Amino acid sequence: MKSSSASPIATFCLAVTLASVAVAEAPPIDFTKFKPYTATADEGDYLLTPPYMDAPELKAQEGVPKGMVYRFTMNSTDSKFYSGIAKNMPGQVVPYQRRVTVYVPSQYEAGKPAPFFVSQDSMGQGQLPTMLDNMIAAKRLPVMIGIMIDSGGGDAQGSERGLEYDTVSGKYAEFIEAEVLPKVSADYHVTLTKDPDGRMTMGGSSGAACAFTMAWFHPELYHRVLSYSGTYVNQQSPLNPESPHGAWEYHENLIPKSKKKPLRIWMHVGEMDNRYKDDEPTLHNWVMANQRMAAVLKDKGYHYQYVFARESGHVDGRVVRQTLPQAFEWIWKGYRAK
């Protein structure tokens, strides 16, 4: 009769496997290494704790000049970059439309090159115009144009949004440069600066990873990046042999092994962000990924600010509404029009 107990070899293999898993688990966060996130926070790692409160800059203030907000739609049939895909229709062209919102401050002077930002997923389209009205009037921000653009739809691998945002290449930045900015300039009579120091990208989740990708592959176009819950994980599809781990490659290989680039980065993650309990081999732990991004940026001497928000989740609206004005102010620190 065979014994029901495991063999010594099987027991040993199980022990090795469990040991490997234990090593791979996400390490606990050492909160003693963070400074409290205050109004005077500069470069480095910061801790933000609840209760969270909406920043006063998000409310309309009496006597403040209001900028103009314009909206238009782009059709994929007009694009030379992204014809359209969808998860449920692999291998087929799936047309789509994307909405774009443009903010032009009342202080903008026609013909004068203006700094601007591009917001993926149209992040902040409901809050940013009022915030910018207030902060530009208070001279806390330069007179800037806001371009808030939707993705082509869907999410993650196999979707148009995933293709645009999670691909580790310069293609999306090139799409913005060739097809979006010229239309904004022509239709709304604004002159957008060519100075990369006057250009910012931003987003949340995959939109944040996309924002970083835009600046990483085209630092001649963008120097400033604002990232909420960045998807610096392995979500790229289709597979690119030059970056087999997708955006995980940024903190694993690309940043540590590349010459420092002229970028200024504000970034955030939530304590209970996506898959925060995942082991390292999944390459899908958002907290681990952002922790490592901050660490490699620090090691390479980048200008960065990293905010770790306690008791909060993925692109947590409470955190965004509290931090957005201060994040903008920090990311534009030092800007001088050329």
* Res 85: pLDDT: 86
Neighbour-count burial of 169, counting CB atoms closer than 10 A to its CB (0-12 exposed, 13-18 middle, 19+ buried): middle
**Residue-wise over 186-210: b if at least 16 C-beta within 10 A, else e?**
eebebebbeebbbbbbbbbbbbbbb
Average pLDDT value for the chain: 92
pLDDT of 12 above 60: no
- Pick 293 or 13 by higher pLDDT: 293
- The tens digit of pLDDT for each residue in 149-199 reads 999 988 888 899 999 999 999 999 999 999 999 999 999 999 999 999 999
pLDDT of 8 above 60: no
* Confidence bin at 38 (pLDDT 50/70/90): very high
- Cβ-contact 197, 335 below 8 angstroms: yes
- SS3 assignment for 191-216: CECCCHHHEEEEEECHHHHHHHHHHH
pLDDT of 5 above 90: no
Q: Read off φ and ψ for residue 193, nearest 5 degrees.
A: -60, 150
Cis amide linkage into residue 27, ω under 30° from 0 = no
* Res 24: pLDDT: 53
- 3 state DSSP class of 77: helix
Report the candidate in 144, 109, 338 with the shortest Cα–Cα distance to residue 226: 144
- Cβ-contact 113, 192 below 8 angstroms: yes
Neighbours of 86 (CB within 10 A): 17
pLDDT of 4 above 70: no
* Confidence bin at 18 (pLDDT 50/70/90): very low
* Res 89: pLDDT: 87
- The tens digit of pLDDT for each residue in 39-92 reads 999 999 999 999 999 999 999 999 999 999 999 999 999 999 999 988 888 888
* Confidence bin at 314 (pLDDT 50/70/90): very high
* Confidence bin at 338 (pLDDT 50/70/90): confident
Q: What whole-number distance in Å separates Cα of residue 138 and Cα of residue 132?
A: 10
Q: What whole-number distance in Å separates Cα of residue 49 and Cα of residue 44?
A: 17
- Pick 232 or 4 by higher pLDDT: 232
CATH code of the domain made up of 29-331: 3.40.50.1820
* Res 124: pLDDT: 96
